[in-house]
Each structure stands twice: as structure tokens, then as C-alpha cells.
Structure 1
Amino acid sequence: MSAALIETEGLGVSLGGSRILRDVSIRVARGEIVTIVGPNGSGKTTLVRLVIGALRPTEGAVRRAPGLVIGYVPQRLAIDHTMPLSVARFLAFASRDRAARTRALAHVGAPGLERRQMIDLSGGQFQRVMLAHALLRRPDLLVLDEAAQGLDQPGTAAFYRLVETLRAELGCAVLMVSHDLHVVMAASDRVICLNGHVCCEGAPMHVSAAPEYRALFGHGTGGTMALYRHEHDHAHGDGDHAHHHPRAPEEAEEEA
């Protein structure tokens, strides 16, 4: 087994009197794509903030490989529309090397955008620029928190294909949070199902069949599950719907 880039043990967080995460132990090794899925309020963004060091755990520990470099693409980035900010200037926060910035934009499929204003970019262009910014750090671990949020289905699929390509080219690991279950299942080596604690984890095919996963996503997402089944060309029997519900978190959170 490859050495872990990030490993958490017995991680727990309480904020404002609410227990958001408890006993969360995960591991991300070099070169793998690991995706965290879970309902709203399940603690996904909180876990990401713990991994990147933006939040300290109430209990447990986060261990990072020595010298680990993390590239982070957040859910959203608030930009002041009254203040001009070109793509070139935004990327300069990550690197002063103009040639490196040009290469990064080309690498993510967004060449020639240097002079464009960030606020004028389309959703897909914006996310690719954000990804270029993260890549300029030469990360060992790329962390994506709902990075494809707001993109349409073809745009989302294209974005995750790009992530897979970058993983292969750079040899970095990827830890991502996503609601796009069918795309995630196609793109991930391993899936972690979170609902205040780790409900289940493993290879996508195994997680999608787990009772805990079905209890969270098996109802009300028929289109997503059907698309996933179709893409992977397999069917389930009449016992599809799970009746085993995972233990809910002690108190719900509003995702940070």
C-alpha cells in the first residue's frame, strides 16, 4: 500500500455546541482519486477544511506527509465586482512566473484568458482558472470542494475528465467533494460516504451497493442512480432499496 499523503484518525469537530463530525478516519495515498459524498449538512466541507489545515479538530488528529503541498479549489470564490481583477493578476498570487501561468492555463484547457476579467468568465472557464491556480503550487494533493458546482452536466463531466487527466500526468492525489454521484462513481478510485461519520467507504461499485449508501441516496435520486447503472452496464434485482439506515449525526450542521 502506498504511503499516505493525508491520514485522519478519530477526527471529531464541535462548532457552536453542535457535534458536526465524530470518529472520522480516512486515508488518501499518492496517485488515487478519493471522493467524499453525503447529504447536505453531513460535514463534507468541514472535513475538507480540516484536511487543508483551515480548521482544527476538537478531537483526533490529521497527519500530513512531510513537505506535503496542497492545491485547493473551493466551492466558490467571492470577487468584488467593483475591483478589476484579470486572470493574469489572479494567477500571479500563485506564481510570478508568466510562462508558468501560461502553461497552467493551457494545461487545464483555458489558454489565452490572461487578459480577461475574472467576473466576465463563464462558469466552466472560471473553474478551470481556479484549477490552474491550484496547479501552479505543484501540489502533491489536489483538493476540490464542489469544484464543478453550477456547471451543466456536460461541463461537469468535462471538468472531472480533466481532473483524471491531470492526476495521470502529474501523479498527484485528488480528494474531492461532489454531489454529482454518477460522475463521481465513474471518476473515483475510492468513495467515502459521510454523514457526520464515515457510513461506508470503498470502491465505487461496492459503496453504491452498501445499505448505508442506499439509505442516504437510494430514494429521490432515481435519475442519478439509473444513469450510473446504465454507464456501468449492470442491473440490480428487486431488492434494490435498503432498509438499513445509518445512525444520524447527533446534531445537524449547516455546511460551512
Structure 2
Amino acid sequence: MSLSTTEDTNQSKTYRVWDRPTRVFHWVNLLLVLSLMFVGLIMLFKSEVGITGLEAKIGLKELHTVIGYLFAINLIIRLSWGFIGNRFAKFSGNLPKLGAIKRYQTALRAGENPQYLGHNPMGKLAVLVIMITLMLIMATGLLRAGTDIYYPPFGGAVTQYIAAEGVDATRIKPYDETGVDKAKLAVLKPYKSLAGTVHLYSVYFLMLLIVLHVVGVIIAEVRHQPGIISAMFSGKKQIEGTPLDK
């Protein structure tokens, strides 16, 4: 694949790197994740902020779920693009390699500033961990939505399972045991609880990853490779010398 480049007076070159779908996913994902965290925190501390009552509780969960659907759609599009996008969007070219990470760290310790068009080796590792965490959050969130407020894609199967004999499953309502087989509900409860626990702690882990990611990007921008932040807006990187992944 050829790279589009332009030269400036300092003999540096500008490369087109991040395609538009990759950039759109990045910023939409950030917006949705922050929105989910905000609503999630309100859900966790609803009593402290004066939100009471079952209707308000369900309303918050429904809002969280709707935003979660947008998050899931955006993530699924990005996962699909990881197989059909340009070389910098494809997962096949962004898998971290231990040898490359060691060489990169050795070069930094030696005072060198190796340049990369795509993610540097540490960046590739960070992206992999973040993507796995996002997928885990999506999966457990959908499971929790299905077992808690009976939303798709699992809600229909859940209500069919817990509905008492002769009861129309579509009449089952969240936090209302009318028409529910309590024995089956008890069987489901540990799985519901596990999905919720994994979901919550995955989000806490993602918060940590976001902080580390932001700090790492700022350090890389200031000390090693200027322009990596602006590249996620423009899609272009300006590099002096020959990038190692050209």
C-alpha cells in the first residue's frame, strides 16, 4: 500500500495515517464511554444525589442501556473495520510483539526517539488491552441489561425462562415478581450478579487505562514523537527521517 506524503521546508514528511472511520470511532467512543461513566456513577450514588423511587431507578438503567447500545454499535463497527480498513486500522498490523516492545524501550533508554507512522510498540499493547476491556464491558453490559430490565438482545429469552407456567412472558416487568417463577429467578440471580460485578470492575479498570493512556500519549507527544495527538484529528503525521514501520 502506498502512502500519500508531502514535504515541507524542514525536509520532514507528512503521511496520511489514520483513516476517517478510525478517527470517528475514537472520538465517538470517548464521548459514549464518558457518558456511560457519568450515568453509571449517578446510578451507583443515586441516593446521595437525591434520586429515589423504583421508576427513577429503572429510568436511569434504561438511559444507561440506550447509550450502551450506541457504544456497542460503534465498537462493533470498529471491530469490523479492523479487518477491512487501511493498514493502520487493521488488527493484523497492530498486534503487540514482545521483541518490538523491548527494542523500543531500549532505544528510549539510549536517548533515541524512534518514529512510527502507526502506534509504537507500547501503543499497540495499550490499544489491545483497551479493546479487550471494551469488548468485555459491552458483553457484560448487554447481559446485565437482559437480566436486569429485560432489554434486547437477551431480555426476551430471560423473560421466557422466568415466566411462570401460563404467564405471557411479555407481561413480565423489571423489579416486579408478578407472574415470575421465583425458583427460576433464583437460578438466574447468581449469573446476573456475576455479569454486574465483572461489568463494574471492568469499567474501573478502563478508568485506570484511560488515565495511563492519556499520560502516556502526553509523554510521547512532548518527549518522543510530536504530532501524535493532532494526528487523531487530522489523520496525518509529520515525521522527520524514516519511520520504522513505513
Q: TM-score, normalised by structure 1?
A: 0.20
Higher helix share: 2
Higher strand share: 1
Larger radius of gyration: 2
